[in-house]
Amino acid sequence: AWIHKDDAGFFSKAGGDGPRATPTVSNGFVYTVGATGIVNCLEASTGKRVWKHEMLESPGDNLTHGVCGSPLVLGDVVYVCPVATDDASFAALDSRTGQVIYTAGGGRAAYSSPTLVEIAGVPQILT
């Protein structure tokens, strides 16, 4: 067993301490999103950090309730919902490096986790 803790704390009177999101386990790795916007890829067997990506440019960019969306892993891509900008409410990260592949969406993200669905036979990610 292991424990991972980032050097960032979060507290909200409405929701208490973070984190807010459920980790995702895929292919021997654990992907986490903290309330402060830190995305981690950790080795499932050891808890050792493989990479870290900070979704927020500064702590002041966060929402009152913090970052709440759990990561969705599909193949070699980790999908997350940044909350800070009006022009990127969805992001795709390389699961091996944490580098941003692309961003999309408009309006600030909220509590939603990216979810894979099939509509009219077409796989789609909803947030």
Q: What is the pLDDT of residues 27-82, one digit of tens each?
A: 999 999 988 889 999 999 999 999 999 987 766 676 767 788 899 999 999 999 88
86 pLDDT higher than 70: no
pLDDT at 120: 97
pTM for the model stands at 0.90
Q: Using CA atoms, how far apart are residues 1 and 92, in angstroms rounded to an integer?
A: 29
DSSP per-residue letters across 10-59: -EETTTEES--S--EEETTEEEEE-TTSEEEEEETTT--EEEEEE--SSG
Q: Using CA atoms, how far apart are residues 10 and 77, in angstroms rounded to an integer?
A: 27
pLDDT at 17: 75
Residue 116's SS3 state is strand
pLDDT at 83: 75
pLDDT at 10: 76
Q: Using CA atoms, how far apart are residues 58 and 78, in angstroms rounded to an integer?
A: 22
Range scoring the smallest mean pLDDT among 3-12, 19-28, 60-69:
60-69
Do the Cβ atoms of 66 and 16 come closer than 8 Å? no
Closest residue by Cα to residue 127 from 84, 89, 87, 74:
89
Do the Cβ atoms of 33 and 52 come closer than 8 Å? no
pLDDT at 112: 80
